[in-house]
Amino acid sequence: MPENDAEPEFTSDPESWEYSLYIPNDLRAVTVSRRTPRLILTMHGLIGLVDVAELLASELVSNAVRHTKGPAALRVRWSAGVLRIGAWDADPRPPEPPQELGQLIESEDGGRGLGIVRACSDLWGWQPLSRFGNRGKFVWCELAAGVSACA
């Protein structure tokens, strides 16, 4: 997965770790990406974050697969008591702005993904990526070790 030069370097903290899963542009990848954080977080003893992390990972990957034509990747990283979940895709266009929570409930159409990410994470954002000739974007969210708004 391409990295952004502006993103801070991964620290050598022995408690930090990172996993990346490269996925094809296939809707079945959403299910794989949903289950992946459960296994990772369970193995690292972070069971309290599993349910929300699953939801956030599936929303991020769903957007990457549904709204782009190329491959994508899921990244799950733990550092300094913060879980960062992100999805990379090859489309450099910004994601659609997330809906407010009230609009999510009333909406019968799609487009709820980033609204759910915004509502259930402590922080979220996106950044364009361009490195080594690769283009695209990375949409991410963070969860602190405490309780999430969606828990």
Over the stretch 23-41, which tens digit does the pLDDT of each residue have? 999 989 999 999 999 999 9
Q: Tokens 């990526």 correspond to what residue?
A: 129
> What are the structure tokens assigned to 2, written together?
């391409």
The residue with greater pLDDT, 149 or 126, is: 126
Domains and CATH numbers, the chain: 35-144 (3.30.565.10)
151/141 Cα distance (integer angstroms): 15
Q: Read off the pLDDT of each residue in 137-141 and give the average, rounded to a whole number.
A: 96
pTM: 0.83
Q: What is the pLDDT of residue 4?
A: 46
With cut-offs at 50, 70 and 90, classify the pLDDT of residue 112. Answer: confident
Q: Which amino acid is at 143?
A: L
